[in-house]
């Protein structure tokens, strides 16, 4: 110990440091910390952003770490969830659907899944539509529902990879 500083002084310095770090995180939280704000809680998922700038249903994008993965028409990453154990059914509702919004089919889809311009080759054959428990149509890859991650706020973000058994839809050649 430094001369003149008692144990209480070290405790006060440690607490001051912890408070300073907490204030920094509160003022400018990282994206993954913004997931569960109580003001955003609602029992039903909000509608997924529908393709606007591009009328493609799905595309692929390449990430330097994860490789090629599936996105919506605007380049937002799409995920599968390990909790969806039954074919053609979503198990992600309530809090799950708030943090992992389903990739919903718009009321008037700009394209239909079988339209060849939605994707090319084998990828186009893998895009399906399932019905959620409330009857809302949701896009699926094969037999598994597709989701966004709430923390991915821009095209190219892949912050949801490997969080809570969610994985990017990786495209293998």
Chain centroid to CA 164: how far?
11
Q: Are residues 13 and 87 in the same domain?
A: no
Q: Are residues 71 and 152 in the same domain?
A: yes
| CA nearest to 99, candidates 159, 169, 170 | 159
Record the pTM: 0.63
Q: Are residues 28 and 62 in the same domain?
A: no
CA–CA separation, 84 and 141 (whole Å) = 12
Q: Are residues 28 and 73 in the same domain?
A: no
Is 1 within the bounds of a domain?
A: no
Question: Each residue of 76-89: pLDDT tens digit?
Answer: 999 999 889 898 99
For residue 11, give its domain range: 7-34
CA distances from 80 to 34, 52, 77, 109 (A): 21, 23, 10, 21
Average pLDDT, the chain: 74
Structural domains counted in the chain: 2
CA–CA separation, 102 and 111 (whole Å) = 18
CA–CA separation, 136 and 127 (whole Å) = 16
Q: Are residues 163 and 115 in the same domain?
A: yes
Is 29 within the bounds of a domain?
A: yes
Question: Each residue of 20-68: pLDDT tens digit?
Answer: 666 565 555 555 444 433 333 333 444 444 434 444 578 888 888 888 8
Q: Are residues 25 and 59 in the same domain?
A: no
Question: Each residue of 110-148: pLDDT tens digit?
Answer: 544 444 344 556 676 788 899 999 999 999 998 999 999
Is 119 within the bounds of a domain?
A: yes
């Amino acid at each position: 110990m430094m001369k003149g500083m008692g144990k209480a002084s070290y405790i006060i310095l440690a607490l001051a440091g912890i408070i300073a770090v907490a204030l920094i995180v509160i003022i400018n939280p990282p994206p993954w910390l913004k997931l569960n704000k109580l003001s955003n809680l609602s029992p039903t998922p909000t509608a997924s952003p529908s393709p606007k700038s591009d009328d493609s249903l799905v595309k692929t994008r390449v990430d330097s770490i994860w490789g090629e993965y599936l996105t919506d028409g605007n380049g937002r990453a799409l995920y599968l969830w390990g909790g969806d154990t039954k074919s053609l059914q979503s198990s992600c509702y309530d809090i799950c659907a708030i943090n992992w919004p389903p990739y919903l089919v718009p009321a008037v889809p700009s394209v239909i899944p079988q339209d060849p311009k939605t994707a090319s080759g084998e990828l186009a054959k893998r895009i399906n539509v399932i019905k959620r428990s409330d009857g809302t149509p949701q896009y699926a890859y094969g037999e598994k529902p597709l989701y966004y991650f709430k923390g991915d706020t821009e095209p190219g973000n892949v912050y949801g990879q490997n969080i809570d058994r969610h994985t990017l839809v990786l495209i293998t050649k």
